[in-house]
Amino acid sequence: MSKRRILILGGGVLLALGLLLDPPHPVNRLSGFLPEASGTRTRLILSQVKHGLDNHMILIGLTGAPVRQLVQASRALQGELSRNPEFAAVLDHSPAPKAFSSSSLRHEILFRYRYLLVHPPGRGRPWSTAGLHRAFLEDLGTLAGPAGPQFADLLRRDPTGAWTGWLRQIHLLPEPPERHGVWFVRHPSMALLAAVLVHSGWDLSHDTRALRAIRQETRQAGLDLTHLRIGGVAPIATALSRRIHTRMAELAITSTLLLLIGLGLLFRSIKTALLLFAIPALAVAFALLAAGWIFGSLNALSLACAGVVIGMVVDHPLYFWTHARLHPESLADHRRTVLTAAVASGVGYLGFLSAGVPDLVQIGALGAIGLIGGGLITVALGPVPVRTLRRDPAGSGSPMPRGHPGFALLLAGLGGVLLLVHPLHWRAGSLSQSGLPKALMRTTQELRRAMGTPQINHYLVVTGAHLETVLDRTQALQDLLEEQRREGAKLRFLTVTRFLPPPSLQIRRERVIPNPALLHRRLEHAIRGLPFTPAFFSPFSHALAQSRKLPVLNLPRLLKTRWRFLVQSELLRLGHRWASWVPLGSPTSDPRLSRFLKKHPIPHLHRIHLSRALSHLQQDLASRLVEIGMAVLSLVVLFLGAFTRSARRTLLLVATPVLGVSTTLALLNTAGIRPDLDMLIGLFLVFGLGLDYSIFLSVPRSPLGQTTRDVILISMLIVLAVFLPLILSGVPMLTTIGFTVCLGVLLDTAVAFSLATRPSSGRAVP
């Protein structure tokens, strides 16, 4: 064994050891494929997708047992899951205080802050004697009512109704019916819970742990899992991901076995087949180790995509070893060709680094490292005595007939005409929606209906550089919306300033609270003619005196309370900026509201229709992928231009992949398969393959035509064998990718052959 091979073998062993000792940490998340947006609007939508309450909520329904058992199970589940670090909160009943009694309100921080949360009583003159008198008169009505004695305790501590007033202002909270203190619907008999995840529902690793905990606790509570209903983004995303991963794993195993058998039979040598597979396997391992070291943790889906990309390097050893065996005299040329193809594709994948989408960057890095690494390993190993397809090496060296460039031109023309007749239209439904599990979607809708959780689609969003600014603007918006409601508009909204008024407003409210002596005088005047003694209001006086000393309620303090998940979902960080989301129970396009907001402009106010915005977001991601495509093309052209130092040659080399991609796109579009994210992923593979074929066929000097042709045909067969099963996978995303790659590789091959020229003397590529 030569020294070089010993070195490579040693390197391989070290690589394996490295992977064993420090394996990359795969995480499963879909949110990593969301772009890091440039515009405020897109960033807002992304922040809602990643951090919005809807994406953190798992809805749970327990059925199939007597009411009492369901209630007990619901309580047990709530207790156990609340202690689980995956959950920020688990609710089995309304988060509002259960009663107005002293005991239940003692620990309620917002009750302590009630006089800083709402406007003080008294029109224009806060805490005036007249205002207090009016409030006490109302209290008299309450006390004289049939439950007067029961309300007496609350009225003594809050006679101006600040707390009940605040509670009335909380709209859009779930309002399911309750039974025995837990959310419960009768038809079908079902206990309901809402679990709020710490991480977004798109972070599948966390979802899996959370869902496992829910199932485990349900079993512990003595319920059969068949009676457990789970809905929300997390179970849907998990099911979708599991389905894709399962199908991909099945297909990967099947394709690998089929290919090994096919190649073994084709070459009549299992050793050759295994050697051919060793290169992509080593390249994947190398890329894993390097990217794992760079990124720390790798997205499982990025790994899968990169694995497919790197798998395509199988044509490099196929080309190199076949040619080295049949034409050892041109070994240097073969080496250069393989390196050129590997580096050109690798450099192209560097274009992904500009993606601004974290996990697409991972694909780019993995692809670049794997492709270049694969090429280097192939070349470093040197000629390996593999079997060749042709027994007669002399025959294989016969020059390939000159191609017919007219065919490529015809394809280009056809593609152009088709694109003119059927212009490209972006398809909104794509990656995230492909193959969504329908049963889970139905369950989610049913649970949502049962919970009475409104599907919020309209938001008003206020942004700003500082939290205080955003709170000030949100308060202004809240005041405007309240004014609208007073004027009769049927508005339902929930602002974060209900929980966290701007500090300046809290201070203003604090300052107008009369001092104890003044309050005492006003109270004495206010109760004249009413059957109250001053002692009746001593808890109220005490509470007001305390309110004057309270530190301003701030975000960190509020985030320690049970209201934190509501606050967190409405008040989001956007890098160095803040955004306050105001969910609306009515359309933002309501003309009356529009006119009103136009008349009273609030700076940095955005109106967002979420489902429409998400569609735009997908388009944004698509245009991002198109930009990546252009970056890839530019890098490849630059690299080839620098290497060939010939514009004509460079143009010829990139003509095959560009024509392959554009014609595939035109044909699929004409056939009614609209371009979407899935198709774009497939087109990147088509581009890489076209580039390889184009470079293989441009080797100068020796007449290698038939051998190269064989290599390309085998490579094409390998691609078809891998991607044809995807078409039958039943997962729309995989079907589209499979269809795109299969059609693309056929067109790549046809275009490459038609553009192939007779070998010429002189330096071409490289």
Partner 1 sequence: MKRAGPILIPGLVLLALGTARAMPPNWQTILKSFAKKTQAAVAYRETEHVGVLYGKLRASGFWCYQRPDHLSDIMLTPVRKQYGMNRKEAWSINARGQRRTIALALVPDLRMLAQTLESLLSGQPQTLHQLFHVAQRVKPPEWILTLSPRRDAGTRSLRSLVLRGRGPTLRDLTLLYPNGDWSHYRLTPVSWRTCQKEGF
Contact positions toward partner 1, by CB under 8 A?
93-94, 96, 98-101, 137-138, 140-150, 152, 156, 164-165, 167-168, 170, 173-179, 181, 452, 531-533, 535-536
Nearer to partner 1, 373 or 583 (CB): 583
Read out DSSP for 237-264? HHHHHHHHHHHHHHHHHHHHHHHHHHHH
Q: Strand pairing partners for 577?
A: 574
- Rounded to 5 degrees, φ, ψ at 91 are -110, 135
- Report the SS3 class of residue 113: coil
Note whether 675 and 427 are within 8 A (CB).
yes
Least spacing, CB of residue 182 vs partner 1, in Å: 9
Check if the beta carbon of residue 605 is closer than 8 Å to that of residue 474: no
- In 258-267, which positions are buried (b, 16+ CB within 10 angstroms) versus exposed (e)? ebeebbbeeb
Q: Which is nearer to partner 1, 53 or 654 (CB)?
A: 53
Min CB(23)–partner 1 separation in Å: 49
How many angstroms separate the Cα of 64 from the Cα of each of 68, 69, 70? 11, 10, 8
For residue 565, the one-letter residue type is F
By beta-carbon proximity to partner 1, the closer residue of 153 and 510 is 153
**What minimum distance in Å lies between the beta carbon of 443 and partner 1?**
22
| Residue 485, amino acid | R
β-pairing verdict for 605-609 and 458-464: antiparallel
Q: What are phi and psi for residue 85, nearest 5 degrees?
A: -65, -15
**Closer CB to partner 1, residue 452 or residue 703?**
452
Instruction: Tell me how far, at minimum, the Cβ of 60 lies from partner 1, in Å.
Output: 18
Residue with smaller CB distance to partner 1, 155 or 747: 155
Closer CB to partner 1, residue 175 or residue 329? Answer: 175
Specify the residue, 10 or 534, whose C-beta has the smaller distance to partner 1. Answer: 534
| Minimum distance from residue 141 beta carbon to partner 1 (Å) | 4
Smallest distance, Å, CB 97 to partner 1? 9
Name residue, tokens 């593609």: 415
Rounded to 10 deg, the angle between the 732-755 and 233-267 helix axes is: 40
Report d(CA 630, CA 635) in Å as an integer: 9
Nearer to partner 1, 536 or 696 (CB): 536
CB of 92 to partner 1, least distance (A): 11
Secondary element (H or E) of residue 732: helix 732-755
> Of 142 and 256, which CB lies nearer to partner 1 in the complex structure?
142
Least Å distance between CB 138 and partner 1? 6
Closest CB to partner 1 among residues 178, 446: 178
CB of 70 to partner 1, least distance (A): 16
Provide, rounded to whole angstroms, the least separation between the CB of residue 498 and partner 1. 13
CA dist 563 and 89 (Å) reads: 9
Q: Give the sheet arrangement for strand 571-574, strand by strand.
A: 571-574, 577-584, 458-464, 605-609
Question: Taking Cα atoms as reference points, which of 62, 79, 82, 83 lies closest to residue 71?
Answer: 62
Alpha helix positions (H), 145-232: 148-157, 162-168, 204-220
The CA distance from 508 to 513, in Å, is 9
> Of 168 and 595, which has the nearer Cβ to partner 1?
168
Minimum Å distance from CB 144 to partner 1? 4
For residue 448, the minimal CB distance to partner 1 (Å) is 15
For partner 1, the closer of residues 101 and 611 by Cβ is 101
- CB distance 87 to 195 below 8 Å: yes
Question: Between residues 100 and 696, which has the closer beta carbon with respect to partner 1?
Answer: 100
Quote the least distance from Cβ 156 to partner 1, whole Å.
7
Instruction: Compute the least distance from the CB of residue 545 to partner 1, in Å.
Output: 20
Show the CA angle centred on residue 433, arms to residues 429 and 436, nearest 5°.
140
Q: How far is the CB of 233 from partner 1 (least distance, A)?
A: 23
Distances (CA, A) of 529 to 317, 391, 697, 722, 759: 101, 117, 104, 90, 112
The answer to whether the peptide bond before residue 188 is cis (omega within 30 degrees of 0) is yes
Q: Which is nearer to partner 1, 152 or 266 (CB)?
A: 152
CB closer to partner 1 out of 98 and 125: 98
Helix axes 677-696, 705-727, angle to 10 degrees: 170
What is residue 196's three-state secondary structure?
strand
CB of 531 to partner 1, least distance (A): 5
Shortest Cβ 526–partner 1 spacing (Å): 15
Q: Which is nearer to partner 1, 111 or 693 (CB)?
A: 111
CA dist., res. 253 & res. 530, Å (int)? 85
346 vs 348: CA distance, rounded Å: 5
d(CA 162, CA 118): 6
Is the Cβ of residue 93 or residue 649 nearer to partner 1 in the bound state? 93
Name the residue among 155, 148, 150 with its Cα closest to residue 132: 155
CA dihedral 159, 160, 163, 168 (to 10 degrees): 120
8 Å CB contact between 178 and 29: no
Residue 411: CB partners within 8 Å, gap ≥ 6? 659, 663, 747, 750, 751, 754
Q: Which two tokens stand for residue 183?
A: 């959310």
Distance CA 295, CA 353 (A): 13
Containing 315, the helix (H) or strand (E) segment is helix 315-326
5 CB neighbour count, 10 Å cutoff: 13
When the beta carbons of 36 and 482 are compared against partner 1, the nearer one is 482
Q: How far is the CB of 169 from partner 1 (least distance, A)?
A: 10
Residues across the chain: 766
Residue listed under structure tokens 């601004």: 356
